[in-house]
Amino acid sequence: AQSVTQPDIHITVSEGASLELRCNYSYGATPYLFWYVQSPGQGLQLLLKYFSGDTLVQGIKGFEAEFKRSQSSFNLRKPSVHWSDAAEYFCAVGALANAGKSTFGDGTTLTVKP
Amino acid sequence: NAGVTQTPKFQVLKTGQSMTLQCAQDMNHEYMSWYRQDPGMGLRLIHYSVGAGITDQGEVPNGYNVSRSTTEDFPLRLLSAAPSQTSVYFCASSSTGNEQFFGPGTRLTVL
């Protein structure tokens, strides 16, 4: 069975500081990995995705993530956080053929201090 | 191009009532899914569909029914609402090799 673990429930960083959100997955085949962001009261928006190729993927809003197969990880990073990045972040794993059956982590809430 | 739309945005039900949450997409996606989101639990898959006429159960299907008579629509039916079904419900659609697109959500309270 596929699963996703986001070890950090809540992270607080200062504006301008760097950010890393952790994600570990379990999947029996080649994983299709996603990071989504959710602002309060909103739906989910895709930040980036990985399914093959370069293990460092770039996304929107200055985010990037690195796929490490040996560690079963797909951590999200941003070099300099902006106050508008405060939100909840979800990592998800699914099959390339059917992203509709994705499994989500429990989410990490990011607070940005001025 | 509206993407994924959901109605209603908010709903309050009494225990035992039934209702249907509507979901529609205009992107001609073959895959559609329903998730529920509860505090601290991320999104959990209720039911999904790989095309018109084909549906399957997800992680938490009990108490919910779905059907997919057209590519565009994927309604979720609550047969007899219970307080444990109080949640935010998200519909999503996707095509092969691509990510899911999410609707704005329906916030359901069952008293």
List the one residue out of A76, A92, A83 whose CA is nearest residue A20: A76
What's residue A2's pLDDT? 85
What's residue A52's pLDDT? 82
Mean pLDDT of A64-86: 96
What's residue B42's pLDDT? 87
List the one residue out of B89, B60, B68, B88 whose CA is nearest residue B25: B68
Residue B68 binned pLDDT confidence (cut-offs 50, 70, 90): very high
C-alpha torsion sign, points A21, A27, A33, A35: negative
| Residue of B43, B55, B56, B68 to mutate when probing chain A, most A C-beta within 10 A | B43
The Cα diameter of chain A in Å comes to 42
What's residue A96's pLDDT? 67
Task: Tell whether the model's pLDDT for residue B2 goes beyond 90.
Answer: no
What's residue A102's pLDDT? 87
Task: Tell whether the model's pLDDT for residue B108 goes beyond 70.
Answer: yes
- Strand A44-50 and strand B43-51: the pairing is unpaired
Chain A residues inside the 8 Å CB shell of B58: 101
The C-alpha atoms of residue B19 and residue B12 are separated, in whole angstroms, by 10
Cβ contact A101–B102 (<8 Å): no
What's residue A54's pLDDT? 85
Mean pLDDT of A32-53: 91
The C-alpha atoms of residue B98 and residue A96 are separated, in whole angstroms, by 7
What's residue B29's pLDDT? 93
> A56-70, A76-90, A92-106: lowest mean pLDDT where?
A92-106
- Strand B106-110 and strand A32-38: the pairing is unpaired
Residue A97 binned pLDDT confidence (cut-offs 50, 70, 90): low
The C-alpha atoms of residue A92 and residue B80 are separated, in whole angstroms, by 31
DSSP string, chain B: ---EEEE-SEEEE-TT--EEEEEEESS--SEEEEEEE-TTS-EEEEEEEEETTEEEE-SS-TTEEE--SSSSB--EEESS--GGG-EEEEEEEE-TTS--EE---EEEEE-
Q: Does A101 touch chain B (CB under 8 A)?
A: yes
Q: What pLDDT digit, counting tens, does each position of A9-27 carry? A: 999 999 999 999 999 999 8
Percent of chain A at pLDDT exceeding 90: 76
Q: What pLDDT digit, counting tens, does each position of B24-59 carry? A: 999 999 999 999 999 878 899 999 999 999 999 999
Written as one letter, the residue type at A108 is T
The chain-wide mean pLDDT, for chain A, equals 92
Chain B residues inside the 8 Å CB shell of A107: 40, 42
Cβ contact B50–A100 (<8 Å): yes
**Cα dist. A111→A23, A37, B28 in Å?**
18, 13, 37
Calculate how close chain B gets to A50, using CA atoms only, in Å: 10
> A43-52, A69-78, A89-98, B62-71: lowest mean pLDDT where?
A89-98
DSSP string, B52-75: TTEEEE-SS-TTEEE--SSSSB--
Task: Tell whether the model's pLDDT for residue A95 goes beyond 80.
Answer: no
Calculate how close chain B gets to A68, using CA atoms only, in Å: 20
Chain A residues inside the 8 Å CB shell of B59: 103
Percent of chain B at pLDDT exceeding 70: 99
